[in-house]
Amino acid sequence: MSTQSSTKAFQEAQELIPGGVNSPVRAFKSVGGTPIFIGKGEGGHIVDIDGNKYVDFVQSWGPLIFGHRDESIEKAVIEAVKHGLSFGAPTLAETELAKLVVSFFDSIDKVRFVSSGTEAVMSAIRLARGFTGRDDILKFTGCYHGHSDALLVEAGSGAATFGTPSSPGVPADFTKHTLLAEYNNIESVKKCFEDSRDIACVIIEPIAGNMGLVPADKEFLLALRKLCDENGTLLIFDEVMSGFRASISGAESLVGVKPDILTLGKVIGGGMPVGAFGARAEIMNMLSPDGPVYQAGTLSGNPVAMAAGFAALSKLKKNSRVMAVLQERATRLVSGMKEAANSYGITMQTDVRGSMFGFFFNENEVKNFADAASSDAALFAKFHAGMLEEGFYFACSLYETGFISTATTDAMIEETIAASQKVFKAIKNG
């Protein structure tokens, strides 16, 4: 397989863009080799600029639940563009998508749209602080909530990949109000509440997707909800990644725990840049112009993004049973790969939530970031390179989650399993 054009493109990009990429994990640093440059996507496949075709298990890191170039979403975008790209003024599309988003979740009455998941989380935390009148926030090691200053403390995802749990350029004063607890460890949370009576919110990925796929235990989330209630602290579920991916109605429908504030992104934009945060009316009414908590954005509620999101969520609502089909395929994929790995004496830990899947080369079950970090990164890099050579595009970090789309066919699943058998054999034979 030749990747000459991608190699040349990467060299040129590095002259103009830091690291040659506009998001660090794309640089292939943790898996080695040169990142492939994508020319186009179609259904369950992507094609690089050298003409190589891959089964895509990244799906733009989650948004493309219906695969690349879904006809109904593409049509909605083209129609919206005909009326204008942006107005900086209200449109009916915003209300239509808001009504649709709210209809999926019992926990939210109102929602505000922004342009990214990072912006959604940053705004949700400001809202929580404004509502409670408190300063401290509590997050979990390994959960990534975007790159705003207060949250770049022991982050997962790209930051963990590069071995920098916090970032230069973030003043200590910005993070002194951020408390850290261990994921799935309620005693560590209790300790934080003992250390501070000023905790405005606890923010968590209830289904973590940025240290690999690591779901929170139901009992842990129930205990977390109880602690927040006892201490007058708001609970924020960051479902920018898992929203409409793990379940059509969020983690709250899977575990029976309602958050006070919910953040969303990815799928709700159908592939366009978008984020959102929502809560019950009492909390959301604190936002400007109704209340004193300020938040604004020129491209918030962009009509093209709203149209794409409305098309995606409308299609999902009409075909809600598709989630069970996607979960079955994802389960069959990781089960098949695990069986192939085991046949060559390689131990894999796997998990699935809806259309999300994850795997670790680890002897033990992964319950938190420390467990994930103990996985065999070198083996993952070999597996990634081998599968890429065979025509299968997986996330280029062991700390990322994989995604199935409706365009990922049964045949693609079987082909992937067969290819993994071949790659594991090559790894075993050196």
Active site residues: 144, 238, 266
Tell me how long the chain is. 430
CB 401, CB 213: distance < 8 Å: yes
Distance of CA 43 to the CA centre of its chain: 20
* Lookup: tokens for 12: 């040129």
User: CA angle 213-214-215, nearest 5°?
Assistant: 115
Quote the CA–CA distance of 161 and 165 in Å, as a whole number: 9
Strands 199-204 and 136-140: parallel
Give the H or E element holding residue 155. Answer: none
Q: Which residues pair with 350 in a beta bridge?
A: 359
Quote the CA–CA distance of 192 and 153 in Å, as a whole number: 15
CB 265, CB 77: distance < 8 Å: no
> Radius of gyration (Cα) for the chain, nearest Å?
21
What are the residues whose beta carbons fall under 8 Å from the beta carbon of 52, sequence distance 6 or more?
1, 2, 3, 36, 391
Quote the CA–CA distance of 121 and 167 in Å, as a whole number: 18
**Of the candidates 241, 175, 237, 174, which has an alpha carbon nearest to the alpha carbon of residue 403?**
241
CB atoms within 10 A of CB 20: 19
Strands 199-204 and 234-239: parallel
Quote the CA–CA distance of 7 and 147 in Å, as a whole number: 28
Q: Which residues pair with 359 in a beta bridge?
A: 350
Q: Determine the number of helices (DSSP H) and then strands (DSSP E) in the chain.
A: 15, 16
What are the residues whose beta carbons fall under 8 Å from the beta carbon of 75, sequence distance 6 or more?
311
User: CA angle 255-205-203, nearest 5°?
Assistant: 105
Quote the CA–CA distance of 289 and 122 in Å, as a whole number: 18
* Lookup: tokens for 405: 């789309």
